Structure 1
């Protein structure tokens, strides 16, 4: 009987070890042109660029999202008109999109003065877009004054970069 138990134990151990033995692992193919064609997953095409109508699409499609201004000014010059015209064309392609135009100022001047100046800058950009046919209900304006600089520094180059109106898509 002892011999039968010994044989049964050896058989059980052999089966257990056999079940635990690792199977040979297959590694994925090396990356490269041939490997990318062998993928059997989803057949949906991946977009080559940003999602149509997104903020990234807006940035990629327009001349610029930013209009810059001279010191204490909020007038739209010829260069600004070109930028805003390209924004108007993009908005024409996406009639359900709304935008916010953010007005900014440099660090000089009081907080209240710069908030008012930023608002005048944002409204100047809005008024131009409205003049070329964009529905004013699609455009919100906000002024950050000197609270959100993109260039840190107390020099003319930094100040010039901070005097701006920036267009941001909302929906």
Structure 2
């Protein structure tokens, strides 16, 4: 009986830890009914999963909803937050409004909103804070007319810093929500 407990406890602990992690697997195929170019796929042999996804997305890129006035904001795919905050800044609101306009004009576009925090605080607290940040962005976009079906809010907490430093400059970069187009991104040419 003790041998069974010794086996089950690590398995349960691992399962509990993994449930806190975002476990999304992006698709790397294109539905020809949703692709304005009519292509059904792109050769992604030898590419990493992220590179393959980006290659697929470029096939269905759209200029619909892209204006000269909002190109710079659409190019920005990250919004930042103050310490322990989910409040959006005025600059971030302009960025999100541009993405909302694009998403409303392109019903086939899909976006993952990934929430991140700095390294301070417990893992559990940061997972929840990352989720609140992603949900704040999602809420703004939905309020601006974007269909909730186009959005996915995910938290990575402090697990995926973009700056490995341990100072305020690093923490400021890591407190963010990334806007990741998974289908039909803006064509900014």
TM interval, shorter chain, is 0.5 to 0.7
Shift of the alpha carbon at 1:73?
0.1
* Among 139, 158, 182, the residue aligned to 1:127: 139
* Among 90, 98, 110, the residue aligned to 2:122: 110
Which residue is equivalent to 1:11? none
2:114 match: secondary structure: strand
Which residue is equivalent to 2:153? 141
Which residue is equivalent to 1:21? none
Which residue is equivalent to 2:91? 79
Distance 2:166 2:122 in 1: 15
TM (norm. structure 2) is 0.59
In 2 relative to 1, CA 139–130 (structure 1 residues): closer, same or farther, beyond 3 Å? same
Deviations along 1:55-93, whole A, 9 cap, x unmatched? xx9x97704111100000001221111010111122133
Deviations along 1:108-131, whole A, 9 cap, x unmatched? 110000000000000000000001
Structure 1 gap ranges (5+): 1-49
RMSD, aligned α-carbons: 2.0
Most deviating of 73-82 and 116-125: 73-82
Please identify runs of 4+ aligned residues in structure 1 that moved more than 3 A: none
Distance 1:114 1:61 in 2: 27
Distance 2:93 2:126 in 1: 23
Structure 2 gap ranges (5+): 1-57, 184-189
1:74 match: secondary structure: coil
Distance 1:51 1:86 in 2: 21
**Native 8 Å contact 2:118 2:171 kept in 1:** yes
Q: How many residues are matched?
A: 119
